[in-house]
Amino acid sequence: MSAARPFGFALGANLDSPRDAIAAALERLARRFGPLEVAPLYRSEPVSPIPQPEYLNTVALGHGPQEPEELLAGALAVEAELGRRRDLPLGPRRIDLDLLFVGDLERDAPGLRLPHPRLRERRFVLAPLADLVPDLALPPDGRRVGDLLAALPGGPWVKRLRSEDPCC
């Protein structure tokens, strides 16, 4: 194992009970990787052309010595435990976990790209990430999360949930 470094996961769900699925995934990730700091929940419009329900999204941050491959394998195992099926790309999901970054590491290997290749273009990831770490500089160019969010063009809507908002 290497020195401890920060890492981040994006979580999303839009089938069955998304709030429960995200809570279960967070609990399982914390059991595997230690305490996590969790952003507020967001409701978001699907980016897929496939008709499907709105998503519920958040981001969770941790800190530890795990290698990226271990973090990714753990996330995939949690998805499988919670019934994630991968038969329809961009289709609705019971749970979706993405490894966003591991410190300032860059990887471009089959099945593992760091930072996540679409992190910079997804408002439903950048918005909750900016709630936690707006000044986090991402490789390869060191641009900060808050600046990336502010620079996004219009696109699918994303709305932060308030505690009084009805939800899934």
Check 28, 43, 98, 122 and give the catalytic one.
Answer: 98
Look up 98 and say whether it is catalytic.
yes
Active site residue 96: yes
In angstroms, the CA 139 to CA 143 distance is 7
Q: 93, 122, 123, 131: which one is catalytic?
A: 93
Residue in 5, 20, 28, 84 annotated catalytic: 84
Contacts of 127 (CB under 8 A, 6+ apart): 42, 149, 158, 160
CA distances 25 to 47, 74, 140, 162, 163, Å, are: 22, 11, 29, 21, 20
The verdict on whether 93 is a catalytic residue reads: yes
> Catalytic amino acids?
84, 93, 96, 98
